[in-house]
Chain A
């Protein structure tokens, strides 16, 4: 007579120190054998209290704080914040046209840099260690361009309320043009390295399928939402800055699995190169001089009492800042609507029923940055 095999649910800690959690994220997994029954993310290891700090700094000082939220795409964080403050301050803060095109140029370069980092690190998560080195070779070029324009590689603080800090240095547009040409040649290379790789496809196709209704209900935005087949991009549907004057496509996926989320980001890099080239053309034609990169703003900015919400299509999704002003130089409340935080909310739903090895593939495909999750 055989005895029944006694099974017990096991709790596994995907601890804060882990090379593939993209930062300090702890996920408390409950397993039945190797199948996940529940997942509970425990965040806050990188919480720095940015929303509280913003209540003690004036509007320009907060730009420095916003850089450090999603430290992989700091130009886009600056962009969202400056849009919100400009909405709060009124029409006097509208950036001049040259400043708008510079903003879009560096924002799209930042998007390429962020997606390159995703490309490289997602490969590493799956086990492919080589594409990372190629991706970072291109990322180095972008970071060098950022250093040329504002002096910093990662936490740039380049945007100001009403424009950008300074105009582009001489020789910059030629270098960006060279970079765009080089980058276009890299896409077939990356396709060979990772997208067409059989092992990569096995580990990501039909894994972690997210459908459109669940994605909308959970507030998922950005490439994760577009991978489900829903074509929504804030740059197209609620255009801000000069995106309505630029031509680009919005890639969408079909099934909402990990491979689609990867592929949407891959194609977005192509579109960002297209936007960058259009901006270069425009910037060559626009006049330079004093007053073309920063609107005339008072030295101490005191927006009228009220509230405003400014959001952009960041590389991770819908990044927004909700600012409440009480008429002083310091905001009364700054709420950061962070896409990585909201997108991570789908993880408990998405992981049910998959195996432990798939946890890394699914978590990597959501593309979170812990600086933004924790704020």
Chain B
């Protein structure tokens, strides 16, 4: 089954699904389909059982709010902390360590959403698919697909850990990589673009 047949089958069943094309309107290298957040569980059930997408490669989120600010990162210069002067004589200010300069982004990209991305693959048919859906940044939540693909359990925990997105129906939603103590404070979702890093014991 090639990409356009899969897109057809999905659109037949879920008429609001749309295929995301590239800027020059050519089909993308891997089929990308966007659906509404409310139907994500039904779409996934359809993909899992009827289109035989048995391998969920990853589940993740992309924060489209804007560019990440400097306050998201720690800027301790390890040389300065050790008391070693490294600025050459001509430098005007001893500011934070400069990281790569960021230019102007393509217009119209940033909007206030989280985009959930699911990468599916079928061992039987060899088909690949990116399934995307957009959820709001205020009180973000989406249905969990852990009942369809058990591997989603940890992927969703990781996405919750980094972004704070609640997965409804997840059997065990708690932080996985970051310390469990971070739940005692508000707003500790590091991969969000508006995350402000406060100095802690790890700095």
Contacts and interface: CB of A to CB of B under 8 A. Distances in A.
18 contacts: A216-B54, A217-B149, A219-B57, A232-B123, A238-B126, A304-B23, A305-B105, A307-B117, A307-B130, A309-B30, A320-B58, A322-B58, A322-B60, A322-B117, A328-B105, A329-B103, A337-B58, A337-B119
Contacts of A237: 126
Given A44-B178, A52-B191, A322-B58, A328 B102 contact: yes
Which residue, of A217, A219, A306, has the highest number of chain B Cβ atoms within 10 A? A219
Contact of B177 (A61, A216, A324, A374): A374
B105 A219 contact: no
Nearest to B159: A335
Contacts of A217: 54, 149-151
B102 A309 contact: no
Contacts of A311: 57
Given A219-B149, A330-B102, 18 more contacts: A44-B175, A52-B191, A58-B100, A216-B123, A217-B149, A219-B151, A302-B103, A305-B105, A305-B109, A306-B23, A307-B117, A311-B57, A327-B103, A327-B105, A328-B105, A332-B105, A335-B117, A337-B58
A333 B72 CA distance: 14
A309 to B, nearest CB: 6
Nearest to A59: B100
B105 A326 contact: yes
Nearest to A325: B106
Contacts of A337: 57-58, 119
B27 to A, nearest CB: 12
Given A51-B191, A322-B60, A342-B154, A329 B100 contact: yes
A298 interface: no
B190 A320 contact: no
Contacts of A47: 177-178
Interface string A287-310: 000000000000000101111110
B101 A341 contact: no
A324 B102 contact: no
B178 A61 contact: no
Give chain A's interface secondary structure class. mixed
A322 B179 CA distance: 25
Contacts of B133: none
B45 to A, nearest CB: 15
A324 B54 CA distance: 25
Interface size class, chain B: 35 or more
A306 B22 contact: yes
B109 A216 contact: no
- The interface residues of chain B, by DSSP majority, are classed as loop
B68 interface: yes
Nearest to A345: B154
Given A49-B190, A55-B68, A335-B60, A216 B55 contact: yes
Interface in A34-48: 43-44, 47
A326 B109 contact: yes
Nearest to A302: B103
A218 B58 contact: no
A43 B56 contact: no
Contacts of A216: 54-55, 123
Contacts of B73: 52-53, 56
Given A219-B151, A327-B105, A342-B154, A333 B57 contact: no
Nearest to A57: B100
Nearest to A326: B105
A237 B57 CA distance: 16
B29 A87 contact: yes
B19 interface: no
Contacts of B67: 326, 328
